[in-house]
A and B are shown apart, each in its own frame.
Chain A
Amino acid sequence: MIIINEDLCKGCHLCLFMCYKNVYAISSEANKKGVLLPYVNFEDRCTNCGVCEVICPDQAITVDINKNWWVGQEDNSFNPKFSKGSK
């Protein structure tokens, strides 16, 4: 599942550019900030690579998967030594 935070997205569309499976598309109407939000068009194509999550400069994309390449293990919990965060 891919979640786009509409409050944070500024509409740069780097997610479209970076996704090599073309999962994303651009909506035709601007939201109230004047941003043409991306939306998930072909979720079934997603390979859980997680690149869109990192490339998004506004921390607006969250890929809810447990198998991102950068996690390495089966869980995507935060750094075990990280104790200050809200989680």
Chain B
Amino acid sequence: MSVENKFTPYMREDRLPHIFCPGCGNGTIMNAFLKGMEKAEMDFDNIAMVSGIGCSSRIPGYMNCDSLHTTHGRALSFATGLKVANKDLDVVVFTGDGDCASIGGNHLIHAARRNINLTVICINNNIYGMTGGQISPTSPKGSFGTTAPYGNQDAPFNLAELVAAAGATYSARWTTVQIENLVTSIKDGLKNPGFSFIEVATQCPTYFGRKNKLRTPTAMAVTLKMNTVFKSAADRMRPKELEGKIVVGEFAKRQKPEFTENIDRISEEKFGKKTLINSAYEEEL
């Protein structure tokens, strides 16, 4: 082929095609991330990716950079350690709704509270895909899953607002069908010197779709598009009107001191020491 795809040079090409189902949004979000990274003029060499367990957490395995595929829900704690140990790295966390909102919910709010400079891309497909279609903490009320055969009775988490309330300096929500906004948001998140959280509502035709009468990727994409309400419009809508809608937009964009900089500042101001990087390779410190 004379023209090479724009995204595959960033990927471990020997591992493609990836394991994601046909029509899965994860691949789209990989592309959107790479576009956002190019727009932010980030150095791909300097990016390290961390993920937990789940479909979305397989993404770093396909990216040609240092990647840490960790235990379920704990990606943010590993990323915290990695970032503190080497603050020069640009650490990106790929996580899913089950991974970061359910088992890793505590790590999510604490990472946001610390405002540590991580970019978290939370791929929210409203279901546990890898284990076969169980409901997740973000499944809409009334939706079906293998563990909710009579419809989900629980209210879902509103992740972007949760993280904004916990203290993140950047929090946004978009869907896979709003490519342009998503790319811009990823760019802003990467540039933001603090905790950036980008929730991407995505389609899971294989499990969420099958259980909820939206079997094709296109049907799911249509639903996503139709249910999207921009935050500016949603602010003027009544709660009743917003039922079942996906509110997209930016939920937090502010400036706050960053966690690793605070650690540096204490070392520097009080003791005149620079935080060491790669000190494990030194025999004498």
The secondary-structure label for the interface of chain A is loop
Closest to A81 in B: B43
CB-defined contacts of A83 to chain B, threshold 8 Å: 45
Which interface residue of A7, A62, A64 has the most chain B CB atoms within 10 A? A62
Q: Are B177 and A59 in contact (CB under 8 A)?
A: no
CA distance A83 to B16 in the complex (A): 21
Residue of B22, B35, B205 near A54 (CB, 8 A) is: B35
CB-defined contacts of B213 to chain A, threshold 8 Å: none
Closest to B205 in A: A12
- Identify which of residues 24-51 in chain B touch chain A, using a CB-to-CB cut-off of 8 Å: 24-28, 30-32, 35, 37-39, 41-45
Residue of A17, A58, A70, A79 near B27 (CB, 8 A) is: A58
User: Known: A59-B8, A79-B38. Is A85-B64 also a contact (CB below 8 A)?
Assistant: yes
Q: How large is the interface on A (under 10, 10 to 19, 20 to 34, 35 or more residues)?
A: 35 or more
Fill in one digit per residue for B12-24: 1 if any A CB lies within 8 Å of its CB, else 0: 0100111011111
Q: Are A56 and B218 in contact (CB under 8 A)?
A: no
A7 to chain B, nearest CB (A): 7
Residue of A59, A76, A81 near B7 (CB, 8 A) is: A59
Q: Are A14 and B5 in contact (CB under 8 A)?
A: no
Which interface residue of A3, A18, A79, A86 has the most chain B CB atoms within 10 A? A79
Q: Are B222 and A56 in contact (CB under 8 A)?
A: no
CB-defined contacts of A16 to chain B, threshold 8 Å: 218
- Identify which of residues 169-207 in chain B touch chain A, using a CB-to-CB cut-off of 8 Å: 176-177, 179-180, 183, 205
CA distance A11 to B16 in the complex (A): 16
Q: A18-B177, A61-B5 are in contact. List 13 more A-B contacts (CB 8 A).
A: A8-B16, A10-B22, A12-B22, A12-B23, A18-B179, A35-B22, A57-B30, A58-B17, A59-B7, A59-B8, A81-B44, A85-B44, A85-B64
Give 10 A-B contacts (CB < 8 Å), ordered by A residue: A10-B17, A14-B217, A14-B221, A18-B177, A35-B22, A59-B16, A62-B5, A81-B42, A82-B44, A85-B10
Binding site for A on B (CB under 8 A): 1-11, 13, 16-18, 20-28, 30-32, 35, 37-39, 41-45, 64-65, 176-177, 179-180, 183, 205, 216-218, 221-222
